[in-house]
Amino acid sequence: MTVTAMRARELGRKSVVVGDQVAVVGDVSGGPDALARIVRIQERSSVLRRTADDDDPYERVVVANADQLVIVTALADPPPRTGFINRCLVAAYDSGIEPLLCLTKADLATPEEIIETYADLELPVVTCRRDEPPDPLAARLANRMSVLIGHSGVGKSTLVNALVPGTNRAIGVVSGIGKGRHTSTSAVALALPGGGWVIDTPGIRSFGLAHVSPSSLLASSFTDLVPGAQTTARPAAPHLSCPPPTAAPSTRTSPPATPNPAASPRTDACWSRAPTRACLLIPGG
């Protein structure tokens, strides 16, 4: 049943976003002329935020109460952009949301290079082909609140249409310069047939992280590294053998063969070798 509701005046400027759990009053019959009011927003278990760029002070809430962030990246057409993946990972860790890397169009290119890039993070990865159902992804989404995020043209809406039959989300094409065209214009939450929810979001071109600081990132997802971070100077110390800020997050001490030129020194993660795991620093944070 679909209930149409408007935000009550007493909520003030507090916005309601996809994923919110709310209390409503009024006509909740779901009839054609029925209208209810949202009078309360339940406490959020997680909030995924982003800014337009790294200097934008205005935070945009992407979704609330998600427990899994699915970073959808095409292996080709358009090509993968590790800088964007890095930013999504930082946002996920800062929000306390488990990340999942979903590599689409595996029938056009092999995933080994991207998988190897993030091997040291033990990041869960699933691959999908256009000529096969996305069963590996469906298994990961079961009974969870997952949000799909990625550039336009990577196949988010195609995945949603396969995961939730009858959805008919608009599907676009990739332009001749390798950029997707926006098709989805708003985020929408859809119930999965086997249990759980999937949230499809519009394609985005940038993922600003002006709201993320090294201290908040450590406190949310790397608490075991806090004591070491407190004894290290804020700028990257000379004895830490880190790759350039354009490198993808890993424990490697040498840069990748083809660093991403669009990566931002402000937000891309620099990972230096620690006894048991990677130690995260954010240059310029």
Dump pLDDT digits (tens) for 13-29: 888 999 999 999 999 99
Quickly name the fold that domain 47-200 has. Rossmann fold (3.40.50)
**Residue spans of alpha helices (H) in the chain:** 82-95, 112-117, 135-141, 156-163, 214-221, 226-230
Statement: residue 64 has pLDDT above 90: yes
pLDDT mean over 243-260: 42
Q: What is the pLDDT of residue 199?
A: 95
Q: What is the pLDDT of residue 254?
A: 38
- Specify the higher pLDDT residue, 214 or 83: 83
For 50, the 3-state DSSP assignment is: strand
Q: What is the pLDDT of residue 172?
A: 52
DSSP 23: E
For the chain, give every domain's residue range: 5-41, 47-200, 214-281
Statement: residue 88 has pLDDT above 60: yes
- The dihedral of CA 138, 192, 170, 44: what is its sign? negative
Dump pLDDT digits (tens) for 131-183: 999 999 999 999 999 999 999 899 998 999 999 998 876 665 544 444 444 45
Inter-residue contact 268 to 247 (CB < 8 Å): yes
- Pick from 95, 23, 36, 35: which is nearest to 66 by CA? 95
For 227, the 3-state DSSP assignment is: helix
Distance separating alpha carbons of residues 23 and 1, to the nearest angstrom: 16
Q: What is the pLDDT of residue 148?
A: 96
Distance separating alpha carbons of residues 170 and 161, to the nearest angstrom: 9
Q: What is the pLDDT of residue 159?
A: 94
pLDDT mean over 73-77: 95
Quote the longest CA-to-CA distance of the chain.
67
- Pick from 35-49, 219-233, 247-261: least confident: 247-261
pLDDT mean over 41-64: 86
* Measured torsion, CA atoms of residues 262, 265, 268, 273, in degrees rounded to the nearest 10: 130
Inter-residue contact 117 to 258 (CB < 8 Å): no
